[in-house]
A and B are shown apart, each in its own frame.
Chain A
């Protein structure tokens, strides 16, 4: 009935042999052995697709059909042998895989057995606003002991996910994958598929983590610059350090919460648990990566395999072959790999600040493992991350020289591929006198819409389009890294009109106070919502005035990044805005009220949240 089964049947036809059957029985044997060996009933804590040594999604029970029942409750998660409290859906972390088909209707009954309110947001799904699942915006939330029934038509296909939008339940495990099969044939050909859900998990309660961040922003950073490092000739030079210290900026402030507090999980498994996905050599394996982490951006690679990116945020893109990609919180990437050797490969999800990594294995048989690469050196912020575009002083000015791009200007004339830039020379980030130019790091004239209060530490003086860059720390890794400008929509865009107007939203914050917001306001300060007309095409530019990357998510919409050709602009629901960078997209208003926020949950919790109101409603609530 489901297309996935047909896919596996097709795979079996292509690769005849008893492999599916024997893998399943071997897995069952292994599971039996682990129970006998005192491995507890750990397997029962994971939904089928997230259990280790799975042959793939197609053979496992998932939730599908028109009537799906989910129960949110307390449970346990065992990571690397240590069990701790979790918020679960149907008793598991991650939550069950929901597999739908484009064109169907679905009714999802969510029962809350917690003693606090809960909710589920269907991340990336185009639903009527009242079904979007954000308490205080779409509905009043699901009180303890009650059931809320979500009901909506499925208008799209691809890889998505779902999670709580209440309190800080998502960091405690309340998240799971959604796969929607297309109504027609899938333009992505594959023999086998696995869902790969990346997350971060801490033994500290999320409220404790937040409290500690409020007490001292850099509390989890054990990779700061030191005097010992200076004497050993590492990191910034003395002059660079003095320049940064003068501005009260810390170039090692890459992640707020680090490996000091987190285990980085893959499908709910710690690095030692070594979650394993099975394949048969020669198969085209579709890996559906979802970053469900609360506060961690990951660098993903599988040493020894090329990654052909075929979809981003559930939307198909023209295939791009890369060696590595950075995935912001809440983004999804579908990747095809084709391992031909009969050996294991390590799936690496390295935290952006290199304070730890998630690790899983892609193997022809259970129980195998491959070499796990060491953590690479942690990156340092640069002047560009402060929104100082030094190329501005090289005569670029306002009049762009034809054929010269901002992103390329930092490099020599023949720009290397993303990820393959020569390593930055130590000391090359010195500002000096900046060509005699005074560059204020907090000039309100650069962004008049910002409320210039204590919550605004800096305003980027000359933010640049950084969508041609691979993300912090991946500039010089020696292999090809995905950049947003690689993404071109495979299918034609539904709306190709020119925008009727433009708006700019500034991402602001103060690391010292750990306050975050949009245009200088936290959501608790009751900012005026952003308004669109239903059906109106608007150009939105997000400008990051802070020193951290923010993955910004707009509910209920896909937005189209403007670097793509008209008609094939890549469509996304969440976009990383690099520090000192800006991202421009066109979006068409969908009726209703929609949350808009940073998907770093502690930034959101600190105030980086807003609402888009889109009118008229015209019965859109039904």
Chain B
């Protein structure tokens, strides 16, 4: 019987398709008798105008046209009270559903991920020095555990500077994380442990910045500011200026740190992103000890200023 119906409809379909060359609002359908008469809105369907002129507005219209859904008056009924029990609990029991809801939350915003990031891992050309800076984090959107490490050394002298931070991190704005924890300096001696609190943020114009305060076990207060930005020259070639400034509230002579701005480092690195997460680079880094820190360095026969060319790798997984 259905076959008969379709056969009966087929000629109409063919007629419809023949007419499809002209903009017929009903092309493509074999029109059943119940099809409502085309109204002015049906005409709008095929007209090249992108939109019905009345959509989205409440306005008087000629009585002849049928109203649009958007013209329907909207009541002000109060929303219903929330039910006391999820619907499926009555069928499967609250215990089974509660377990299942836990998984559901975990899989819809509650997941934990991690990242291991080597931001800088570089060697100086000529001087056999090396430098690293990296971090690892683990956690969800709200709570993260962060490990940071940075340092430098030279083939001849071994590690000259090395620190590790263990931090709890929490977002406090769309682009800003508050971080607090401990920092431990292994080198230069004597080793120091600090309590630390800091911010990581992204400023307008894609300027990434970090600032942290450190209070050592000896009561020395110091601070660090870091900033960088990426200039994307091509899809894979990125020029990154970055700077780091260290400050101290008072001198820590045994470690060669003077009060005020103690040192500054400015780098310009050009990386090639073979993949976003794997990018070798070359760069130039200039660093200088400043103020009392520079005096302490001169007194012990060290250089206060250094400019070096570096090659390195930025990578994460």
Contacts and interface: CB of A to CB of B under 8 A. Distances in A.
Given A185-B2, A227-B233, A246-B205, A483 B50 contact: yes
A565 B25 contact: no
A562 B57 CA distance: 11
Nearest to A453: B171
Contacts of B101: 136
B306 interface: no
Given A453-B171, A454-B141, A593-B88, 7 more contacts: A216-B277, A308-B27, A321-B27, A338-B17, A415-B51, A486-B45, A565-B66
B97 interface: yes
A3 B5 CA distance: 11
A16 B90 CA distance: 58
Nearest to B82: A531
Between A247, A564, A608, the greatest number of chain B beta carbons within 10 A of the residue's beta carbon is seen for A564
B70 A224 contact: no
Interface string A352-393: 000000000000000000000000000000000000000000
A139 to B, nearest CB: 6
B108 A522 contact: yes
A7 B6 contact: yes
Contacts of A51: none
A399 B57 CA distance: 10
A531 B106 contact: no
Interface in B91-114: 91-92, 96-97, 99-111, 113-114
Interface in A46-77: none
13 contacts: A129-B88, A136-B101, A185-B5, A185-B9, A189-B16, A189-B30, A215-B316, A405-B57, A416-B50, A524-B105, A524-B109, A565-B68, A615-B83
Contacts of A13: 7, 10
B204 to A, nearest CB: 5
Contacts of B10: 10, 13-14, 189
Interface in A103-152: 117, 129-130, 134-141
Contact of B73 (A10, A457, A498, A517): A498
Interface in B4-50: 5-7, 9-10, 12-14, 16-17, 20, 23, 25-32, 35-36, 39, 41-42, 45-46, 48-50
Contacts of B202: 248, 512
Of the four ranges (under 10, 10 to 19, 20 to 34, 35 or more), the interface on chain A belongs to: 35 or more
A220 B235 CA distance: 11
Contacts of A129: 87-88
Interface stretch (B172-180, B241-249, B292-300): B172-180
Nearest to B75: A500
Interface string B217-253: 0000000000000011111100000000000000000
A528 B6 contact: no
Given A525-B109, A567-B66, A502 B74 contact: yes
B68 A562 contact: yes
A-B CB proximity, top 7 nearest: A607-B109, A189-B13, A136-B104, A522-B109, A468-B51, A524-B110, A417-B48
A420 interface: yes
B74 A615 contact: no
Contacts of A512: 174-175, 202
Nearest to A316: B29
Contacts of B64: none
Contacts of A532: 80
Contact of B87 (A338, A561, A617): A617
A593 B90 CA distance: 12
Given A501-B77, A528-B82, A569 B69 contact: yes
A547 interface: no
A99 B50 CA distance: 36
A501 B79 contact: yes
Contacts of A3: 2, 6
Contacts of B103: 117, 135-136, 141
A402 interface: yes
B3 interface: yes
Contacts of B27: 308, 319, 321
A403 B72 CA distance: 18
B313 to A, nearest CB: 17
Contacts of A468: 50-52, 55
Interface in A1-58: 3, 6-7, 9-10, 13-14
B53 A405 contact: yes
Interface stretch (A83-91, A206-214, A265-273, A572-580): A206-214
Of the four ranges (under 10, 10 to 19, 20 to 34, 35 or more), the interface on chain B belongs to: 35 or more
Contacts of B232: 224-227
Contacts of B83: 531, 613, 615
Interface string A524-551: 1110110111001001000000000000
Contacts of B106: 524
Contacts, number: 344
B126 interface: no
Contact of A321 (B41, B46, B54, B76): B46
Between B39, B50, B73, B175, the greatest number of chain A beta carbons within 10 A of the residue's beta carbon is seen for B50
A135 B42 contact: no
A415 B49 contact: yes
B301 interface: no
B206 interface: yes
A346 interface: no
A405 B2 contact: no
A480 B276 CA distance: 37
Given A498-B72, A566-B68, A586-B72, A140 B97 contact: yes
A540 to B, nearest CB: 11
Contacts of A621: 87-88, 90-91
B80 A531 contact: yes
B161 interface: no
B81 interface: yes
B50 A418 contact: yes
Interface string A206-243: 00001110111011101111111000000000000010
Contacts of B236: 222
B291 interface: no
B56 interface: yes
A318 B45 contact: yes
Given A211-B113, A216-B276, A500-B75, A561 B69 contact: yes
Contact of A499 (B46, B59, B75, B233): B75
B191 interface: no
A402 B59 contact: yes
A308 B13 CA distance: 13
A465 interface: yes
Contacts of B109: 515-517, 522-525, 605-609
A605 B91 contact: no
Contact of B75 (A454, A488, A498, A517): A498
B3 A10 contact: yes
Interface in B176-211: 176, 202, 204-206
A586 B96 CA distance: 34
Between A321, A498, A591, the greatest number of chain B beta carbons within 10 A of the residue's beta carbon is seen for A321
